[in-house]
């Protein structure tokens, strides 16, 4: 039996978000599923055994985002777990990438997550309970040529979420940042990211990452790094001088 009554999951149509929704449903948590691809959300809703709302929204669109914000504010069927998981990025040298597409990465990864976190935090703190799980990335631990915008959005997510965790410590609201490494989802295809040179040991499944995230928010872990290989990587990145990280990242094969 889950500790959460009703969870809103953004990016529930695919990958880590869809897995989290499935795992929450298996534990009896009711769901509000958010993404742009309504057919996929409807398929998932039909497949799980709990009360499930589908809320189609493009989180880069302020009007559509406002519908999701209203759902988070709602007190008739209150949401006690918000999972800000929707996110994406594009690959290439920053000066060659399309400005509008890069701005949409900031709008979704930072803008929507920031607003939904603040709105949820206010309502949950007043209620004295709740959870906010923000999906970040190991990419946010370092400068990252070829994914400059994406990496910077995830640095924001980790720092913002860690600060929120401390702000809400005495309120009964759990706040966690989930920082996965390479995870097998549609992410790399959407990002035009060539993964052919990456060793198999660097990868995790969406199922493993989702499980680690849900355990972490239950335990109110501030920063969740799933997988032994990623824990080692995160520990190294935390102690290495920025200059050394920058040098190492500039030597990676592209
Ligand atoms: N996969 C990895 O290696 C990896 C590593 C570290 C962190 N992450 C993070 O994990 C999170 C989930 O990614 P994933 O790996 O599961 O990738 P994914 O399979 O591509 O899923 C991304 C989800 O985000 C939704 N989304 C994208 N743009 C949206 C928008 N404008 N409005 C609403 N929803 C939108 C997509 O739904 P629609 O297209 O239907 O809108 C989809 O459900 C992301 O925040 C990502 O940065 C992934």
Q: pLDDT per residue over 125-168, tens digit each?
A: 999 999 999 999 999 999 999 999 999 999 999 999 999 999 99
Residue 140's pLDDT is 97
Is residue 27 assigned to a domain? yes
Other CB atoms within 10 Å distance of the CB of residue 75: 9
- Please state, in angstroms and rounded to a whole number, the distance separating the CA atoms of residues 82 and 72: 8
Kindly name the residue from 90, 141, 150, 182 that is annotated as catalytic: 150
Which atom in ligand 1 lies closest to the alpha carbon of residue 112?
Answer: 32
CATH at residue 94? 3.40.50.720
Q: How far is the CA of 112 from the centre of ligand 1 (A)?
A: 13
Is residue 1 assigned to a domain? no
Other CB atoms within 10 Å distance of the CB of residue 28: 12
Is residue 140 assigned to a domain? yes
Residue 195's pLDDT is 84
Domain that includes residue 68, residue range: 6-250
- Please state, in angstroms and rounded to a whole number, the distance separating the CA atoms of residues 141 and 42: 35
Q: Tell which one of 9, 12, 16, 161 to mutate to probe ligand 1, the residue whose CB is within 8 A of the most ligand atoms.
A: 16
- Please state, in angstroms and rounded to a whole number, the distance separating the CA atoms of residues 140 and 144: 8
Is residue 197 assigned to a domain? yes
Other CB atoms within 10 Å distance of the CB of residue 93: 10
Residue having the nearest C-alpha atom to atom 20 of ligand 1: 187
Give the total number of structural domains in the chain: 1
Residue 252's pLDDT is 76
Is residue 100 assigned to a domain? yes
Residue 253's pLDDT is 63
Other CB atoms within 10 Å distance of the CB of residue 49: 8
- Check pLDDT > 80 for residue 21: yes
CB 23 within 8 A of CB 214: yes
Cα 20 to chain centroid distance, Å, stands at: 11
Q: pLDDT per residue over 184-240, tens digit each?
A: 999 999 988 888 888 889 999 999 999 999 999 999 999 999 999 999 999 999 999
User: Is-catalytic flag, 193?
Assistant: no
Say if pTM beats, i.e. exceeds, 0.95: yes
């Amino acid at each position: 039996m889950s500790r959460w009554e009703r969870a809103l999951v953004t990016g529930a149509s695919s990958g880590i978000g869809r897995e989290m929704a499935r795992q929450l449903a298996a534990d009896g948590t009711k769901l509000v599923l958010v993404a742009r691809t309504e057919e996929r959300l409807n398929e998932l809703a039909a497949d799980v055994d709990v009360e499930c709302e589908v809320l189609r929204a493009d989180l880069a669109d302020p009007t559509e985002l406002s519908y999701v914000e209203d759902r988070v504010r709602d007190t008739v069927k209150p949401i006690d777990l918000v999972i800000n998981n929707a996110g994406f990025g594009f690959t290439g040298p920053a000066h060659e990438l399309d400005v509008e597409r890069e701005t949409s990465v900031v709008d979704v990864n930072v803008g929507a997550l920031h607003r939904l976190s603040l709105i949820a935090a206010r309502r949950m703190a007043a209620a004295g309970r709740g959870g906010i799980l923000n999906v970040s990335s190991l990419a946010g631990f370092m400068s990252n040529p070829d994914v400059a915008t994406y990496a910077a959005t995830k640095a924001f997510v980790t720092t913002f979420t860690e600060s929120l965790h401390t702000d809400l410590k005495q309120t009964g609201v759990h706040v966690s940042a989930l920082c996965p490494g390479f995870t097998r989802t549609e992410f790399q295809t959407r990002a035009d990211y060539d993964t052919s040179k990456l060793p198999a040991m660097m990868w995790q499944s969406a199922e493993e990452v989702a499980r680690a995230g849900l355990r972490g928010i239950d335990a109110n872990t501030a920063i969740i790094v799933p997988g032994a290989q990623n824990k080692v990587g995160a520990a190294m990145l935390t102690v290495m001088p920025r200059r050394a990280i920058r040098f190492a990242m500039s030597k990676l094969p592209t």
